[in-house]
Amino acid sequence: MTTARRIRPRMLRRDGRKIYEQRWVMEQHLGRRLRRDEFVFCINGDYRDVRIENMRIITASEYGRISRARGRRRVCAVQLSEQQMIGIQKRRQMFPREPVRDVARDFGVTVERVQQIAERPLIESGVA
């Protein structure tokens, strides 16, 4: 039986200190050191993917909320595009009996987030 191994971020040694690679890349991008209360969140969950567009700075409370959500295998901090929100709304309208947890799993968000989006007035694509 094989078990899945967690992808761990790379550790670097820079300026006499050990630092995670994604944190160092973000510091280089910003041109300053990150504060102790700033965390680097990798949007796609792969801490070895250190592209700037995959990373954002979050607070300790946001980090805790995201970690709890990821423990349930759902990422609540994912920024959904308008097209994805329209997709959630249309899917809930077309298949009202489909379990909300299935929609949440497919879109990578929490059940609560799907319910919030589904309760909003229908978003029309291309309407300003």
Q: Under a CB-based contact definition with an 8 Å cutoff, are residues 48 and 6 in contact? A: no
Closest CA to 35 of 46, 45, 47, 23: 23
pTM of the model: 0.48
pLDDT at residue 31 above 90? yes
CA distances from 67 to 89, 90, 100 (A): 26, 29, 21
**Which is higher by pLDDT, 123 or 18?**
18
Each residue's pLDDT tens digit, 74-114? 444 456 778 888 888 888 888 888 888 888 877 777 888 88
Each residue's pLDDT tens digit, 1-11? 444 455 677 88
